[in-house]
Amino acid sequence: MTPFDLTPDHRRQLFDELLPQLEAYYTHTRDRRVAPKLDPQRVRDVVGQFDFSRAVPAGEAVDFVVNNLLEYQVHVPHPMYYGLYNPRTNFPSILADLIAAYFNPQLAAWSHSPFAAEVERYLIREYGKRFGYGESTIDGTFTSGGAEANLTGILCALNHRFPTFANRGYRAFGDAGPVIYCSDQAHHSVVKAARVVGLGLDSVVQLPTDAGLRLSLPALRKRLTADRAAGREVVMVIATAGTTGTASIDDLPAIAEACAEHDVWFHVDAAFGGAAVLHQDYRAWLRGIERADSIITDIHKWLSVPMGTGMFLTRHPDILDRTFRTTAEYMPREGSTLSIVDPYTHTIQWSRRFLGLRMYLSLLVFGWQGYAETIRHHVDLGNYLRERLTARGWIIENDTPLPVVCFSRPGTNDAGAFARSVCQRIVDFGEAWLSVYPVRGVDTLRAGITNYASTPEDIDRLVDLLDAAV
């Protein structure tokens, strides 16, 4: 037996030692300090104490990793973590990662992992239907997250606008100056994607937002008209359904109408807010999203699965193939006579982890209804936090139905400095974690709720900590 396998008895021993540690963390996360004391040199010394010149006993190595993750990490699964979109993972999705690691399916060629490939195709169709796409037109792919999904959207829009782009690259543009529109609240992965595909930063037009921090429709229409008159080629408009900072939802029906009038690709970044379609009462928040040419949503942002689980959807069933299809002599050909899709022909990635299992296994265990109830729980907690803050004299600075609350304290001399100071005190207390985000140019405190284990009592404690930090 190769030493890389370890023996069956040794593997069982490692599991017997590891699983109780993981279960203790999972069960008692709230008993830990949320954020570590930050000491970069100390962490570097810990990591670098092994030079790999000798093998470390497996049990010792595993204990070392677990103990240092316990010590040096912001514990995003903590019910009092109110930071970015990093939810506590549900247990079936954890098991999914373990299963995927054991079987290590290769999701490049359909013939190598037909079950895994069809699981992901099925989820793409089911999600597409919930966003309002017609079943016969739905296509898409799992991604590593919103950044890859937005990059995919830009590439699809370019190939749609310039049919020779896949072959000729930037030469397909001719004298046209391609531009992309988004709001000044859009995710910065849009800017990065424009740089990656060779359009450059100047191609991204960040339009102003209105009083509700939504993309300004007058500004959009004015710019569309002006750029067309100037001979520029408007490639796409990117709307956001749940911005990263304030969770604002752009006016999707109005943007869809403007895009239709000007024949422009309409892309919706619903990385966070897209989960709202899983609850019947909240689908109206995303009205108009069914008119989008493409949609992205991150399963890992609100739906309690491990990081690195994104999704790109489109109602143009040919565009991913036109954008990414390539041939390689070394790829398996067993499925060449079958009515199937090789995943590598529809994505930037080639070899890829079985990401869809995280959601599939979770849905098998909890169903759509279980997710709907969890989403309602988060929305209710967001509303409860707004009520408790308002009752204590805080001002809510953002307008969104999603469970993200930006807030400030009236009567302070320097509101931004005050917010940063209070945030740091909260983090230093160790009981909770908040972030700071600028609303209309002034830093505010920001609390996001995506943890299914958070309770009204946790909200009460957060409000008490805020009062203590003032």
Residue 327 has pLDDT above 80, yes or no: no
pLDDT of residue 350: 83
Residue 453 has pLDDT above 90, yes or no: yes
Closest residue by Cα to residue 467 from 416, 432, 417 = 432
Q: What is the CATH number of domain 106-353?
A: 3.40.640.10
pLDDT of residue 352: 87
Count of C-beta atoms within a 10 Å radius of residue 111: 17
- Cβ atoms of residues 398 and 247 within 8 Å: yes
Residue 331 has pLDDT above 90, yes or no: no
Contacts of 180 (CB under 8 A, 6+ apart): 154, 157, 190, 194, 199, 203, 204, 205, 235, 236, 237, 238
* Pairing status of strand 139-143 against strand 310-314: antiparallel
What would the pLDDT profile of 243-291 be if each residue is shown by its tens digit?
999 999 999 999 999 999 999 999 999 999 999 999 999 999 999 999 9
Average pLDDT over residues 116-144: 96
Proportion of the chain in helix, strand, coil states, percent, rounded to 5: 50, 15, 35
> How confident is residue 228, by pLDDT bands cut at 50, 70 and 90?
confident
What would the pLDDT profile of 77-100 be if each residue is shown by its tens digit?
999 999 999 999 999 999 999 999
Contacts of 365 (CB under 8 A, 6+ apart): 90, 92
Domain ranges of the chain: 106-353, 363-469
pLDDT of residue 92: 97
Contacts of 292 (CB under 8 A, 6+ apart): 131, 239, 252, 256, 266, 267, 268, 315
For tokens 């279960």, name the residue: 23
> How confident is residue 346, by pLDDT bands cut at 50, 70 and 90?
confident
pLDDT of residue 174: 80
Cα torsion angle, 111, 114, 120, 125, sign: positive
- Cβ atoms of residues 310 and 335 within 8 Å: no
pLDDT of residue 177: 81
Q: Tell me the pLDDT of the chain averaged across its residues.
A: 93
Q: What is the CATH number of domain 363-469?
A: 3.90.1150.170
- Cβ atoms of residues 303 and 358 within 8 Å: no
For the residues of 416-441, what is the DSSP string, one character each?
HHHHHHHHHHHHHHSS-B-EEEEETT
For the residues of 262-285, what is the DSSP string, one character each?
HT-EEEEE-TTGGGGGGSGGGGGG
pTM of the complete model:
0.94
Token representation of residue 130: 């919930």
Residue 12 has pLDDT above 60, yes or no: yes
For tokens 């990635």, name the residue: 349
Average pLDDT over residues 319-347: 75
Average pLDDT over residues 21-29: 96
Of the chain, the percentage scoring pLDDT greater than 90 comes to 83
Count of C-beta atoms within a 10 Å radius of residue 461: 15
CA distances from 17 to 6, 13, 20, 57, 78 (A): 15, 6, 6, 13, 23
What would the pLDDT profile of 152-196 be if each residue is shown by its tens digit?
999 999 999 999 988 888 888 887 789 999 999 998 899 999 999
pLDDT of residue 172: 86
pLDDT of residue 342: 84
Phi first, then psi, for residue 239 (nearest 5°) are -95, 160
CA distances from 351 to 68, 107, 345, 439 (A): 30, 6, 11, 41
What is the total residue count of the chain?
470
CB-side neighbour CA atoms (13 Å) of 134: 7
- Cβ atoms of residues 366 and 372 within 8 Å: no
